[in-house]
A and B are shown apart, each in its own frame.
Chain A
């Protein structure tokens, strides 16, 4: 199937060529790296602000409220105002805290979420690095954040923080397994770990449709496990505010707190983006088998809209969970993972391997 979707690679190649024309090759590469870094930083900040705004609006809809509506039209600048407040707030020093680790923790958390962004394919040809082990890289990098959480809990010299961090550690170590195994499902289907190849493999249908029931099971497991992995309700035990006031970031204030806060939302975006890429085709438009006319119409919608549309749909699902379910208890949380999700995903892998061997998918 020939796709005539606009590819961002024409734009990026043009920039690359013009930079090489005026600079030495090593300088051109350095300039490109700086450019990408700045782009990501800007995107990161804007995305964080927008996600916080979105969450407040979604939760308002769930709760019969209007949500922010004073700063700017429909309150769109509310989160900007909040961010300015957080930046200008005093950083309260904590007595007997391990200051070096205490200051280091927010950076570890935010860097981990920043690194995972690099491998995401945002649109056709718009991807910072196309690793051949893309999924492996994302899983590895996104679990680095827990180190920051543990350090934050340990160094704050607060019992609430410590309990929150221990819970978070147990939770993420457990749910990492299910996340990995459910992502493995798509790897088995597409036969590649490279994210661009996985997206290309869905040109004649998304894996959630092509993969029958096993793909659906893998998607549901991924959705549950990844919600748990990013510490969001109903699995937000690490910061259960009715029990531990704010969990691991109880003692943080100002911009350091904002880092944790931002990282939480960016992590939500990352897991949603991975789900969209692996199960819903990423930037790939909705294609159905040999319906050429239908497929052509779908191709007119730009690939970047497809990607963000799918991602925000999954983000909406994750927010919906948070605002309607009560929180689980720590023992129930671990029981859910080790007794139900993990055996189920192991069985699912066997099932998928069988389906793939027999060629029972489209």
Chain B
């Protein structure tokens, strides 16, 4: 065990001193670049950000409290609404927690399909991030290219589950029903299609000189800062913080699949961008390994109609498109959980924003919050 990182220094840097004559600009809750109802109270000195206070709670729906009066199968439908771009991973987190508690072994076919859905959701989520990040920087055309390719994934979802975004498709023990017969074929078609389209992304944004100037060296996050604030996911991995739950605590099929964790050390916005671009390619590799080998079999394990967890505490974490999602369940043996707590990645990722954006220009604040890829409903839950 390495010596623990001294967090006090990181926290002292983040202490905000407010003064009476500060020039405050409210970004949000209705603002094009906060991607949702987030309010940033930005104090400006000319164009420079002096400090920035995030105000959350505009879309709080008490998902954790509502979970206490729902059965475990019903909670799945609430988790969709947290990080709606990683809906499948959120569902899977609570399913895995229940399955581990009941010590149920899910069929091989289910494991394969779940991983395929994980990676498809990840690519779709990164598509949307890429589109929106370009928009944040003023490159409006990226939005349509990202959406064009994301549509292919949503078509696969629609074919199998009937819904495109919030498909509560996994249940404790397996899946709601079997996937469409064309599932494998269409995944392979998508992988081939998207490999051809990736160079376009490079031409339009990655290789652009203006884009380099806007992102390189902007919003530097050291590994220590990332750990102190609990920044996970691609944002953390851009700072060299090895935090991919798929590697550190493999679940489902991930310990049998051959893939690499994308790690970079530079820690600026451009690196976080690169990590996500490379993750998309890595997800395609995983999809190639999985889609061809989905075995025949049942789509669910044998489950009782009403799930009751034995008394105790259960914790399960998964890697969503934005970082580590933790589900903590306290059960008192009844059909409803006693307490549910979600450790959502965006909550931690948001609060590092002030440290990164201080002393940068207001345009950089937009770049940095875009590079952290925040989804607001996941912050408020």
Contact = CB atoms under 8 A, between A and B. Distances in A.
B134 A243 contact: no
A347 to B, nearest CB: 22
B165 interface: no
Given A160-B25, A241-B32, A242-B137, A330 B205 contact: no
A291 interface: no
Contact of A242 (B47, B135, B148, B204): B135
A331 B361 contact: yes
B4 to A, nearest CB: 38
Nearest to B134: A326
B213 interface: yes
Given A163-B362, A241-B32, A242-B33, A329 B214 contact: yes
A221 B130 CA distance: 32
| Most B Cβ at <10 Å: residue of A163, A241, A327, A331 | A327
Interface residues of A, number: 28
A140 interface: no
Interface stretch (B84-92, B110-118, B139-147): B139-147
A243 B362 contact: yes
Interface in B32-89: 32-33, 44, 47
B33 A323 contact: no
Interface in B136-192: 136-141, 143-145, 148
Contacts of A163: 25, 44, 47, 362
A65 B151 CA distance: 14
B33 A326 contact: no
B213 A159 contact: no
B138 A242 contact: yes
A325 B136 contact: no
Nearest to B365: A243
Nearest to B367: A329
Contact of A330 (B33, B136, B143, B361): B361
Given A62-B141, A332-B210, 15 more contacts: A63-B140, A63-B144, A63-B145, A65-B144, A163-B47, A240-B138, A242-B32, A323-B140, A325-B138, A326-B139, A326-B214, A327-B138, A329-B214, A329-B363, A329-B364
21 contacts: A62-B141, A65-B144, A233-B138, A234-B138, A241-B32, A242-B135, A242-B138, A243-B362, A323-B140, A325-B138, A325-B208, A326-B137, A326-B205, A326-B211, A326-B214, A327-B363, A328-B210, A328-B213, A329-B214, A329-B363, A332-B214
